[in-house]
């Protein structure tokens, strides 16, 4: 069995998590920028790709400092749950499965494992235990959710944008 480099495996895993329409993911060298800068890069990609779906005149965070204010630290377990949710469910249509949830969870678990126990995680999504989906936007789309983790020399960003 061939040994896969962590960077290659992370890229394959993030590509798998972001295969559904409206889900965007990237793996960066951690030295490429701050978490807000890298989230902004993925948000710009999403906004370009989903331009035709945005509400005309919609605005959202347009600067790195605004994105820094929109995200907050989270723990590994919550980050894994949120990555799986972003990959498997549509934010605009709560509970609508887009793909196999168990597969998304295993993939998100593997991403977290590769980033290591000391990885630092951020999200714009509040505590969903209330049954609600509180969040601070990082794009100009009606719904978005992002999880970013930094560890072992890499930063991963997984972002979903959606419209109802």
**4 pLDDT band (50/70/90 cuts)?**
low
As a whole number, the mean pLDDT across the chain is: 91
User: Which of 63-77, 95-109, 126-140 shows the lowest per-residue confidence on average (mean pLDDT)?
Assistant: 126-140
Q: Is the dihedral of CA 154, 34, 127, 133 positive or negative?
A: negative
Mean pLDDT of 153-157: 98
7-162, which class in CATH?
A: alpha beta
- Concatenate the DSSP letters of all residues of the chain into one string: -PPPPHHHHHHHHHHHHT-STTEEEEEEEGGG--HHHHHHHHHHHHHHHTGGGSPTT-----SHHHHHHH-EEE-HHHHHHHHHHHHHB-TTSTT-B-S-HHHHHHHHHHHHHHH-TT-EEEESB--GGGSS--B--SSSSSEEEEEEEEETTEEEEEEEEE--
Percent of the chain scoring above 70 in pLDDT: 93
Strand partners, 28: 155
Rounded-to-integer distance, Cα 133 and Cα 141, Å: 15
Residue with more model confidence, 130 or 139: 139
Mean pLDDT of 125-142: 76
Does the pLDDT of residue 95 top 90, yes or no? no
């Amino acid at each position: 069995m061939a040994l896969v480099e962590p960077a290659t495996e992370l890229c394959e895993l993030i590509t798998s998590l972001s295969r559904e329409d409206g889900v965007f993911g990237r793996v960066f060298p951690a030295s490429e920028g701050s978490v807000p800068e890298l989230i902004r890069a993925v948000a710009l990609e999403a906004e370009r790709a989903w331009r035709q779906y945005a509400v005309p005149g919609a605005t959202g965070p347009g600067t790195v400092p605004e994105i820094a204010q929109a995200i907050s630290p989270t723990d590994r377990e919550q980050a894994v749950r949120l990555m799986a949710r972003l990959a498997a469910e549509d934010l605009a249509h709560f509970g609508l499965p887009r793909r196999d949830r168990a597969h998304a969870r295993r993939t998100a678990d593997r991403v977290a494992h590769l980033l290591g126990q000391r990885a630092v995680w951020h999200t714009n999504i509040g505590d969903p235990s209330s049954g609600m989906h509180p969040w601070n936007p990082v794009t100009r789309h009606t719904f978005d959710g992002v999880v970013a983790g930094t560890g072992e020399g890499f930063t991963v960003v997984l972002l979903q944008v959606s419209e109802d």
